Amino acid sequence: MNGIVAPALGPVATRVAQVGTDVNVDIGPAFGVVGGAVGAFLTTLIVGAILVAAAPGYVERTMATVLEEPVESFLYGLLCLVAVVIVTILLVITLVGILLAIPLGLVAYVVWAVGAAIAFLAIAARLVGREDGWTKPLLVAAGLNGALALTGVGGIVSFGIGAAGFGAVLRNWLA
């Protein structure tokens, strides 16, 4: 670039050609995995804390659904997730439906976060109990989700738990 373009464009092009031509930013896959784990931890912790503070009765009922009917909740959540993805794709294809696809995706994400937090809270409450309140189960639930997100197989398990929670939330709302 220095030999051909820089002389033709003057001193500014020469300076640009000399500075910053070799910028290589490589954060690697480890950063993405750690970032995903931190995001899973924080999402579960924050959403779980809001739910426990705002609607503890709802959380307990939905936790009971996840624990009593885990397979049904998982299948319902998985089927609903597939339906949401298909509807979103169809809306995006129509171009006009993008205005509906964006809110649908956001609502689905929030419902997923609520369901996953409740499902992880159900597991954590089984592991550590709730005699001392919600703090310990919240931290254990967030830690479980974050730790599972660090591994490939754990990510699949975390997805399954989230699908069960998603299904339990939707079954309560839609049924």
Written as one letter, the residue type at 18 is Q
CA angle 170, 67, 166 (to 5 degrees): 25
Q: Which of left, alpha, beta for 133 (phi over 0: left; psi -120 to 50: alpha)?
A: left
Query: Which of helix, strand or coil describes residue 133?
Result: coil
Q: Which of 131, 127, 171, 141 is nearest to 51 (CA)?
A: 141
Which stretches of the chain score pLDDT less than 70? 1-31, 152
Chain segment 28-45, per-residue pLDDT in tens = 666 677 888 899 999 999
Query: What is the C-alpha separation between 171 and 80, in angstroms, rounded?
Result: 10
Q: What is the CA radius of gyration of the chain?
A: 23
- Whether 17 and 122 have beta carbons less than 8 Å apart is answered as no
Query: What is the C-alpha separation between 14 and 137, in angstroms, rounded?
Result: 61
Query: What is the C-alpha separation between 145 and 55, in angstroms, rounded?
Result: 21
pLDDT of residue 104: 95
What does the block give as tokens for 141? 């639930």
50 to each of 73, 93, 118, 167, how far by Cα in Å?
22, 36, 11, 20
Q: Dihedral sign, CA of 156, 161, 162, 163?
A: positive
